[in-house]
Structure 1
Amino acid sequence: MIDPDKSLSRPAVHTRTRVLRVLGTASTVLEPILAGANADLGFKVEGKVLDGNVAHQVGVIAPESFDIYDQWFHNLEFVWTAHSIQPIQLERIARWNDIGKVALIGKADASLPPVPGGAPNRLLFVQGDGRLSDNPTDLISMLPLSHCADSFGYRRDLQPDGANVENESWAWLLDPSWKRVTLQNNASIGAIDAVLAVRATGLVDFKDPGNLSIEEIDRLMGVLMALRKRGHFSGFWETQAQSADLFSNGRTRIGSIWSSALVLPALRGIDIRTAAPKEGYRGWFGGMSLSRHADGYALDMAYEYLNWWMDGWPAAVVARHGYYFSALEPVRSHLTSTEWDYWYGGLPAAEDLPGPFGDPVVRRGSVREGGSYQERISKVAIWNAVMDEHNYLVRRWHDFLNFRH
């Protein structure tokens, strides 16, 4: 048996001349985190930042190009079935017992009903026959780390007359008075926003909103295409920077947005709010997996990097652009009490607060929409998902994105 403490100590030679390669997105592969890792770990850590769709493709077809795969749980099945990643040994994760219940049961509290979609626990544990399930074992497919409850954003200075901001609803995304709508172009994310919007209007009733049938996909696309033909949508975005630009230049009034986009310079001074929809949030979960090619020193460095994340300092960095962490106590120890109260506690900011790069992004007196961590995560209505009919959804989604008048 491997001594878990060994994962925290570096070999005396060789590692300083080796490089740990991390593949991920701009959500968590941030320069301050890479700089911190290089300062703390004693070996070089390099991050490769790609848009989520491309990172997913590289994860499937080129596992030799990375050691750590930093991505979303709802894409996990692709890299697992492609044999691009290897199981993580829990005995080498020093603070595994700090992982919170959301990652382990897929909801904020056991008393809540199951949440549809790709809950993180669904594919977490590696079974003896190689399948992934929520049945606990000594091996996991991905270390569950960052997550959030997302909704949509809107320009308050551009909202239509009569909009009831005390009754925010996903249905607004389909309301003609909110014309100039943007959606995220990833079918596993943007289509979920669309499902929430269509369901909120009552136009389509989905049996399982996290796993649509072919007939339900066609009905969803029928609603969206009819709006597309009327010029309802102003654009679609691939990266959070693109979403910020769409909102900042006024091309978009309402639409998909991530918490991390709100701290970008393009949105400074823009009167934008993220909604707390009465129907609940779209939840997502991210984490890190090990390339199947990682072995020897590379594998030792990879485990050390995972344990460094579990200590909470990098989690504090991503908290400063709105993301939560699966192990609450470690991250709390690296945030000021004021930061914790705002980002996790749902309280007004007692002072200006910095973003992940150190510049002020939250003004004194601001309150995060939706309340505390527990309140927001308890209202997740659906998790990002890869559906059984994913390939068909992607084809129809691309038809929708590529439609020309």
Structure 2
Amino acid sequence: MSSEIHSGHFVSNTETKKLHISELQIGMWVSKLDRDWLETPFLMQGFLVESMEDIETLAEFCEHVWVDVREEQWVDNFSNKTLKNAPKRQRYINKIPVREENQKVFGVYREARRITKSLLDEARLSSVINTEQAKGLVNECVDSILRNADALMWMSKIRSQDEYTAEHCLNVCILAIAFARQLGYAENELHDIGMCGLLHDVGKMKVPLEILNKPGRLTDEELKIMQRHTTYGRNLLMSAGSGAAQAVDVAWSHHERMDGKGYPRGLTDSKIGRYARIIAIVDAFDAMTAHRVYKPAFPATKALKIIFHERGTHYDKELTEVFLKTVGLYPPGSVVELVNGEIGLVVETNQRYRQLPKVIILRDANKVPVKEKIIDLALIEQGKLDKCFLIKDTHADGAFNVSVREYQEKGLMFRSR
């Protein structure tokens, strides 16, 4: 089976345009006003229009604004020329606040876990993959991520070591969709990439359980058997028919490396499809940040450092850099320790100041549980919050007895400080 290779990168050009306030739309970046910023209630000199309320407030003070318009085109790595007919990237904004999406997403994630486990159990027992059921699951994930990417990404932190493979497949699906959203892929491509993520490890259902769940180091022979999951996955998906066409190549190729030292075929960068490159990064990140029977979880920041260090050799260089922007310095669900010693969970990323997310405080400086409260660290940039609230370090899920699963299942009280 042949697959189209997408090897290249986006180039962007930014132009500033003057617009009448009536032409302003949600999603535009306002960089200049027709009056001094100090004469308006806007604290930041340049901001993203996220709601009609923003437009209405601007209309009270301005007649014209200047917006930054960015156009991006795909450049082929081989010819180093812009492809005239290449599609432009989509630009997405969160449609609803993360707290509102949180109210919907717990049931979505719980049902998605159940369906994923059912899909994999069916593949193990009968070598059959229900691609229509998989598509329905992916549709739910795409819808949630288009509403607000943070909520479902946070849910992907909720893990059970006993259900690693199923939860890993679902988490890779979620992260891959969020990654593709950041890359600006069209909505139909978000669905395709979500399917690739969900089914990338389906071949592990044909690996003997004593090897798949072995708590110690695999022998050379056992490692060879484990690595065959890529070929097993390809064969399973080939038999599933056209409903999982793109997923076939990803299942087969997501362990290939840019330097040709991957498996099963030792492909070099120009021969590895773009979807496989995307899933390779997401797969590694989720695996590193999960507790396994043979190793503890890495904090997200450590996993990101490893992936960044191996960009260009193991992982696609440009995609790696975009992935770091997707998950942020402190992804939702990260256990963080502040300079003042307090412990919290990241509940929402900050697109403008990635080092300053929203954090829900759960432990005081003595690591004693306290009443939950949310702090927006972006207030530090505005001079409204002391720098002692900066993040000092990150820790793996479960550190200081802070478990994402526990706090999500009992319900978090979201309150601003």
Scaled by the length of structure 2, the TM-score of the pair is: 0.22
Scaled by the length of structure 1, the TM-score of the pair is: 0.23
- Give the structure with higher Rg (CA): 2
Asked which structure has the greater RCO (Cα within 8 Å, sep 6+), the reply is 1
Between Structure 1 and Structure 2, the one with more helix by share is: 2
